[in-house]
Structure 1
Amino acid sequence: MVASVVAAAAGSVQATAAPATRPPTSPASPTSPASLLAKVVVIGVPGLTWGDVKASPELTALVNQSSVGSISVKTAGPQTCPIDGWLTIGAGTRAWGSDSGQPCGDLPAVSDGKVTGWQTYVDRQAEHHTGAPIGRLGQAGYPMCGFGPGAAVALARTDGSVANWQPQFDQAKLASLECGDAVVDAGALPLREGRAEALQKVAQLVGQVRQADGWVLLAGVSQVTTNDHKQTLVAMQLPPDDGPRWLTSDSTRRPGLIQLTDITATILRGRTAAAVDPAGPEKAGPLDGSEIRSVGDRHTNAAAVIDDRLDANQRFEQPRPVLFAVALTIVGAEVLALLWFLLRRSPLSRRVAVFTLLVQGGFYIAVFLAQATVWWRWPSPAFSLYAVTIGISVVSAVIAQVLLKKSAYFGLALGAYLLLLIDGVLGTPMQLGSLYTDGPVIGGRFYGFGNSTFAALAVGALITAGWAAQKLFDKSRVQAAVAVLVIGGAAIVVDGKPGWGTDFGGILALTPAVLLMAWLTWRGSISLRALVGVGLAGVLAVAGVAFLDYQRPPDQRSHFGTFVARLVDGQVSDVLVRKLQMAVQVFTGPAGWLMLIAVVLCMLATVLPNRVPSQAYREFYTSHPMVRPTLLALSACGLIGMLLNDVGVNLPAIMVGFALPLLVAHLLASHQPATVLPEPHLVQES
């Protein structure tokens, strides 16, 4: 039985059925499905994991016959139930289908040629401002076949009507000329009993579809339960283009990783009707995904490929819980050390307090550098990541103290700055799977710098710029200002350049902050007119970058060009509302309000230093000419970032978490009480 299923799953490349041709496509690389004339058939299996592939001999047998990868199934809502996944495939952008906080339900039935309750899903997109044009795939103007309830949802038109659809898979129908491309719902996998048998049926279905001589994509399209959002799912492409390789797309730019919306882009790519909507092409908006293609070296060892994918799941799954554990450890040690210092005021307690503060600064190096250790391949990946992160944080603090003494704060800022510049130029390899990147499971950035990374880069860049300018200040204020522009400008370029940091919101905040700092360095003060000019210069610089990115082909645009495209198409309002909703979500509990109070107090301390109840801080503020411009630039960057980014107060809070411990450590290390010598007559008497 197993042998027959495996044989069927492999399929016959020399199928006798005549393939249904599709319209000519735009030029494509030989490793992309657009270069094929055969039909594209998507087989969707909610909940299909790489653990399932390892447990199934039939699916394992397909690995060496496929280009493979993992697929991120993040949709617009907090959970990805089957309805969310299929609606997203139909829209080409992230859609919201399920009820928040409710268990995943059954897919809607098809009654009288329409998906039951379709208007509910249409209303849900408007309610949550997803901007998802559900029904786009069904309106594409090209004959596609659907099999199963999920396929009905994916191929429904904008009014919910379904054509050329059957409730069960029909091999003869698929092989006929009636079907161009096709979508097949293989059904959700049982959670426990019957899962092995269901996997056999999936492998058998792949073999039947292959006999139609199509380009087959087997993919997990959603989770099955609301609490099962833990790992990326399976993606396999048969036949592999030029041998089995790794699947990728321009939307992820990561070998071995695609996302759900790439499926829609792959089906539609190259057609003149790629963005067709019944109300006109301009109403549908751009696709979120990009065409799936294969890259990298060929693989011939199925077991090694499966183990690699399971390791990758560890890389994506562990960072979020480990981040909490690391933060709790460092902050806990910091609080204990500061309490000891406040109670004892001894030299030892002071040194310990300074060191723990520097360890927190070292964390902003460790959070990225930890990726170089390949911790996800170590025994007990979660503990390995925890230990590596703590270890690098401590070592960074030790090195900074040994080499720079009281200027250790600068060494940590410089280290984070240089590390992130290098990472950005190399294409951000240290971001994916780091503690500061949500990753594909949560659905955060797949490439470039996220908000947390930008916050670390901004602090590192501004402190480094301030330190360098201080060294040049007495010689020439002009040279000092130029140093600020060069150091800050390098951070802006790396953070914002498409293909490097690709951070639209980041350069919106960092550009005016660097210009403000340079102006204050040069002139010492700033008028309202100059302040407005600095702001306009920053806006124009960012607008120029976005416009140039928009001029590139749609499948090559980054977040900059995509935003401009939505603005031109009149689709940007939903994006802005959704980002605003995300920014205010932090205030649903007391933690958000506490963060806001702390951030505001820190910003006020940079503007009104004389009101700060710390003589050491007040003396430090006036001790060097570059202290004030640096602190004001940090506040300006944090304030603009808070107002313009979808993470809101979280961004300046991360900046405070980096900058404040460095400042306090420097004040403690620099303002040690003078040693009191005994009176000479007491020495003589003794």
Structure 2
Amino acid sequence: MRRLWVPYALVLLAVLASLGGLAVRPAKGAPQSTADYVIVAGAAGLRWDDLDPQRTPTLWQEATKGSIGWLSVRSAQRVTCPSDGWVTLGAGNYAAYPRILTGSSRCGPLAPELDQPDAIGANITNQRNIVQDNQDRLPYGAVPGSLAESVRCTVAVGPGAAIAAARPFGRVDKYQATLPADPRSLLSDCVLSFIDLGTITGSGASRATLVEQADATLARVVAARPDRSLLLVAGVSDTDRTSRLHVAIAEGPGWNGGWLTSAGTGRQGYLQLIDLAPTILTALGKAQPEKLFAGRAASVVTGKPANVADAVQGPHNADQRAGAQRGVATIFFTVLAILQFLLFAAIVPVMVRARRHSGPKGPALPSARVVETVELALIAAALAIPAALLADASPWWRAHHPAWVFGLVTGALIVAGTAAVRLAPRYRRTLWPMAAVAACGAIVVGLDLLTGAQLQLNGVAGYSAINGARYAGVGGVGLGVFVTGLLVLAGCTAQSVAKAYRPLIFVLLGGVGVVMVGSPYLGADPIGAIAVTAGVCVAAAMSTGGWLTFTRFAWAALAGLAVTIAFAVVDLRRPELEQGSLGRFLSAFGDGSGGPALQRMAAANGETLLASPLTILAIVGVLMLAFCQFSPWGGLNRLFGLHPAIRAAGAGTTVATLIAGVLGGSALTVAGAAAAAAVPIAVLTALRVLLHAADRTRPEGESDGPGGPLLRKSGQDHLAPR
């Protein structure tokens, strides 16, 4: 009786340890110092490579003295034009401004409908329509003018500043079209001032001239700023149809050096445009409006190099890398989808020939050379994404042809990984390639998370900061590979232990996955952690063999629900500014604002489903698995019958990746990455089983260990296709 309860006790301890690892969260907060005035100087299109110590001395000096970061200017529009950036700044949320479609690749000029009924302020005559449009048409719940409405009065200089400073009913308290000769009095009239430094567009000498003009205007602002004032300099938007990262500088009391960050990005050196509004109110010591701001107040972390050029230019130009990532990622995953489709199509005839026929006549078995080639190709295909992740450690993005350089580095890593798996002494064991490839994927992603997810940030197999969706932790591609690697490795390992202990293997490795994915120190993805929990519960329930009965499903669902509730309680008990995405999501439903959150999730799923090459990878993988399972030549059913833990791993992976994709707003991205890593090795193992379908099956109790020999005939092991 005591031995019977040992596995269950160990499972319970593993679950409790997982929850304990998730309960810890780093403490973050805004600077303690407050300011009497805040001045926001915005220049649409301003990037870090525009700055120079000789041509832009004021910008360079402020960046040297103050705290700096990369600014993501995501708004409610696909491309954030200047008017979208300014209205998003004033709303503290993803907003949009009505625009005139010109058919040009560049954004239209700033042209708010301004009316100046007196010599003091101004009115944006269509502001009520702008607010209504954001409330009715867009799913973010943004209210343009929320920032201005949170302070007593505001000053605006220039058309862009007027858009940000206008209250929801359109009034701009104090307005000047241009900065006066002596702006000292104007900048001290109100606690919050917006200054439009102009729009930086074009290239070459014309762009340099615009930057110099913005720097000269900023110099006059710096000279006239009141005491105890915080100066925020921001490149508030893009200026054409290409999205970029922009300048963010904060200089004033409590902002003297260091990197800018926020709880919204979780990455030092990165800030969102929607973070500026809560930062302003926090610096002024004022409360934030409830349910209106989507951003988080910025804070400062140490580690910024003393020289601005060493921090954000040259080899440290994150904007250049993020821009290159977006193009190369599309090429990589499209090519991978095409190659996997062609590989699976070429393997089908091999699998048809691999199945022995009962009659006297039938097609000859495929030659050993053909089988060897097919196996190596399948291993290489399964290692493509882990190799791409490792390739992001190289400076491929600085090359003249980044796609070619990235492809060569990735190809070399794939060849090296394939050779390592092939030359391993245990290669001939039936499950060894599956276990080795799964371990490679889990180890690569796991080590990256332990070292700060440096390979995934702006990496081809990761995520781009320009998209504004994720800045730290595990991305959708990494999550798919990591979950697949852990569960498949658990399935291969579980075959070497007694049935009663197989669920323990899944729970132990799955618990590691839950902690690494959900911990704010590592994966920072609580939705992904819940998905992994569900997948692990299903896999553990099926690991001892048999089908997923209602009883097993009920126990798995209850266990997953218990972990999810515990995680949610932990997240909800944290301060609001420290809550993760799960806590914010549940809080939205609790206060009645969950509708827009669901609408945003549905919109993100629909857009990603149609636009991502990973959707093709998911579909191709499902079709190949369907052939392997339901075709007489597939071999997958036989593999699952002989190795029930492998079937459990497949079921758990499917559940986890689908939940993570749908709830995370990434549709089939996670499932596509999982399919790219898991389907090739599943096909390889099914092919090995087919080639030995007529051999005598070794009893389960005679297994030699993880990935041990599966088949035996006449006292001799026949482990590889003949």
The answer to whether TM tops 0.5 is yes
Does residue 461 (structure 1) correspond to residue 482 (structure 2)? The answer is: no
Counterpart residue number, 1:16: none
Change (3 A) 1:148 1:591: same
Aligned residue among 209, 219, 233 for 2:246? 233
Q: Which residue is equivalent to 1:74?
A: 74
Q: 1:631 to 1:176 in 2, by over 3 A?
A: closer
Distance 2:148 2:678 in 1: 52
Aligned counterpart, 1:159: 169
Moved more, 345-354 or 258-267: 345-354
Confirm or deny: 8 A CA contact 2:491 2:646 kept in the other structure: yes
Question: What is the DSSP-based 3-state SS (H/G/I as helix, E as strand, rest coil) of the residue aligned with 2:495?
Answer: helix
Aligned to 1:666: 685
Q: In 2, distance between residues paired with 1:97 and 1:559?
A: 27
Instruction: Choose which of 316, 322, 343 in structure 2 pairs with 1:316.
Output: 322
CA gap of 1:158–1:336, structure 2 versus 1, over 3 A, is: closer
The aligned runs of 1:401-480 (5 Å cut-off) are: 401-403=422-424, 404-406=426-428, 407-472=432-497, 476-480=498-502
Please state if 1:353 is matched with 2:374. yes
SS in structure 1 at match of 2:41: strand
8 Å CA contact 1:114, 1:160 repeated in 2: yes
Are 2:656 and 1:637 equivalent residues in the alignment? yes
3-state DSSP of counterpart to 2:496: helix
Q: Are 1:428 and 1:448, in contact at CA under 8 Å, matched by a contact in 2? A: yes
Deviations 1:136-172 (CA, angstroms, capped at 9, x unpaired): 1011134332222222221222222221233222443
**What is the alpha-carbon distance in structure 2 between the residues aligned to residue 160 and residue 613 of structure 1?**
70
Q: Which residue of 2 aligns with 1:224?
A: 239
Tell me if 1:290 matches 2:297: yes
Amino acid at match of 2:568: A
Shift of 1:459: 0.8
How far, CA to CA, are the matches of 1:593 and 1:463 in structure 2?
22
Matches within 5 A, 1:338-349: 345-349=366-370
User: How far has the Cα of 1:94 moved from its partner?
Assistant: 1.7
Query: 2:144 is matched with which residue: 130, 134, 144?
Result: 134
Partner Cα distance (1:619, 1:674) in 2? 8
In the alignment, which of 663, 669, 672 is matched to residue 650 of structure 1? 669
Tell me, in whole angstroms, the C-alpha distance in 1 between the residues paired with 2:626 and 2:285: 55
Check whether the contact 1:505–1:644 (CA below 8 A) recurs between aligned residues. yes
Contact 2:260 2:300 in 1 (8 A): yes
Which residue in 2 is equivalent to 1:679?
A: none
SS in 1 for 2:75: coil
Give runs of aligned pairs for residues 541-556 of structure 1, distance below 5 A.
Answer: 541-556=563-578
Deviation at 1:662, TM superposition (A): 1.3
Moved more, 407-416 or 547-556: 547-556
Structure 1 residue 332 displacement after superposition: 5.5
Q: Paired residue for 1:266, among 261, 273, 279?
A: 279
Deviation at 1:266, TM superposition (A): 1.2
CA distance in 2, matches of 1:243, 1:272: 19
One-letter identity of the residue aligned with 2:83: I
CA distance in 1, matches of 2:60, 2:38: 22
- Amino acid corresponding to residue 674 of structure 2 in structure 1: M
How many Å apart are 1:135 and its aligned residue?
A: 1.8
Q: Distance in 2 between matches of 1:156 and 1:479?
A: 65
- Alpha-carbon distance, 1:673 to partner: 7.5
Tell me how far 1:460 sits from its aligned partner.
Answer: 0.8
Equivalent-residue separation in structure 2 for 1:143 and 1:556 (angstroms):
30
Q: Distance in 2 between matches of 1:352 and 1:548?
A: 51
Moved more, 458-467 or 114-123: 114-123
Q: Which amino acid aligns with 1:266?
A: T
> Equivalences for 1:594-613 in 2 at 5 Å?
598=620, 601=623, 609=629, 611-613=630-632
Letter in 1 for 2:43: V
CA distance in 2, matches of 1:84, 1:439: 21
Partner of 1:252: 265
Give the whole-Å Cα distance in 2 for the aligned partners of 1:96 and 1:242: 30
Partner Cα separation in structure 2 for residue 395 and residue 217 of structure 1: 49
Between 586-595 and 200-209, the greater mean CA deviation after superposition: 586-595
Q: CA deviation at 1:85?
A: 0.9
Given candidates 133, 141, 160, the residue that maps to 1:124 is 133
Could you list the per-position Cα deviations for residues 62-117 of structure 1 after superposition, in whole angstroms to 9, with x for gaps in the alignment?
34344332211111221101121112111212223355976633331322543232
**Residue correspondence of structure 1 range 32-51 to structure 2 within 5 A:** 35-51=33-49
1:274 counterpart letter in structure 2: A
Query: TM-score w.r.t. structure 2 length?
Result: 0.79
Whether contact under 8 Å (2:37, 2:188) holds in the other structure is: no
What's the secondary structure of 2:169's corresponding residue? coil
Note the residue ranges of structure 1 that are not aligned, 5 or more in a row: 1-27, 676-686
Q: Residue 356 of structure 2 corresponds to which residue in structure 1?
A: none
* Aligned equivalent of 1:614: 633
Once the 2 structures are TM-superposed, how far is the Cα of residue 482 of structure 1 from its aligned partner? 0.7
Q: Which residue does the alignment assign to 1:206?
A: 218
Correspondent of 1:188 among 188, 199, 202:
199
Shift of 1:352: 2.4
C-alpha deviation, 1:240, in angstroms: 8.5
Q: Distance in 1 between matches of 2:415 and 2:478?
A: 20
Cα deviations by residue, 1:174-212 (Å, 9 ceiling, x for unpaired): 565422122111121242564333222211222222221
- Counterpart in the other structure of 1:58: 56
Equivalenced residues, count: 632
Residue 432 of structure 1, CA deviation: 0.5
- Amino acid in structure 2 at the alignment position of 1:114: N
Answer yes or no: is 1:565 the counterpart of 2:565.
Answer: no
Superimposed CA distance per residue, residues 581-616 of structure 1 (whole angstroms, 9 cap, x where no aligned partner)? 22123565898986775566567679xx4x334243
SS at match of 1:129: coil
Q: CA deviation at 1:305?
A: 3.6
**1:592–1:53 Cα change, 3 Å:** closer
Question: Contact between 2:92 and 2:277, CA under 8 Å: does it hold in 1?
Answer: yes
Taking the aligned partners of 2:610 and 2:335, their CA distance within structure 1 comes to 26
Counterpart code for 1:414: A
Question: Is the partner of 1:373 in helix, strand or coil?
Answer: coil
After superposition, the Cα gap between the structure-2 partners of 1:85 and 1:548, relative to the gap in structure 1 and judged at 3 Å, is: same
Give 1:519 shift. Answer: 1.5
The match for 1:487 is: 509
Separation (CA, whole Å) in 1 of partners of 2:348 and 2:31: 66
Give, in whole Å, the separation in 2 of the partners of 1:614 and 1:413. Answer: 25
User: How has the CA–CA distance of structure 1 residues 552 and 107 changed in structure 2, closer, same or farther, with 3 Å as cutoff?
Assistant: farther
Instruction: State the secondary structure of the residue aligned to 1:366.
Output: helix
Give the Cα–Cα distance (whole angstroms) in 1 for the partners of residues 482 and 325 of structure 2: 20
Shift of 1:341: 6.3
Structure 2 residue corresponding to 1:366, chosen from 366, 381, 387? 387
Name stretches of at least 5 consecutive residues in structure 2 with no aligned partner: 1-26, 351-365, 695-722
Q: Using the alignment, how far apart are the partners of 2:314 and 2:592 within structure 1?
A: 43
Q: 1:468 to 1:518 in 2, by over 3 A?
A: same
CA distance in 1, matches of 2:235, 2:563: 41
Tell me the amino acid that sits aligned with residue 549 of structure 1.
Answer: D
| Contact in 2 for aligned 1:136/1:275 (Cα 8 Å) | no
Which deviates more from structure 2 when the two are superposed, residues 457-466 or residues 385-394?
Answer: 385-394
Secondary structure, aligned partner of 2:198: coil
Q: C-alpha displacement at 1:121, in angstroms?
A: 2.3
Answer whether contact 1:285 1:566 (CA < 8 A) is retained: no
Q: Evaluate the alpha carbon distance shift between residue 627 and residue 195 of structure 1 in structure 2; reply closer, same or farther with a 3 A threshold.
A: closer
3-state SS in 1 of match to 2:393: helix
Give 1:569 deviation, angstroms: 2.9
Select between 370-379 and 624-633 the one with higher mean Cα deviation.
Answer: 370-379
Q: What is the letter of the counterpart of residue 123 of structure 1?
A: Q
Q: Is the aligned partner of 1:89 residue 2:113?
A: no
Higher relative contact order (CA 8 A, sep 6+): 2
- Structure 2 SS opposite 1:40: strand
Separation in structure 1 between the aligned mates of residue 410 and residue 79 of structure 2, nearest angstrom = 29
Task: Determine whether 1:583 maps to 2:605.
Answer: yes
Q: 1:147 aligned to 2:154? A: no
- Normalised by the length of structure 1, the TM-score is 0.83
Could you tell me how far apart the structure 2 residues matched to 1:601 and 1:636 are?
17
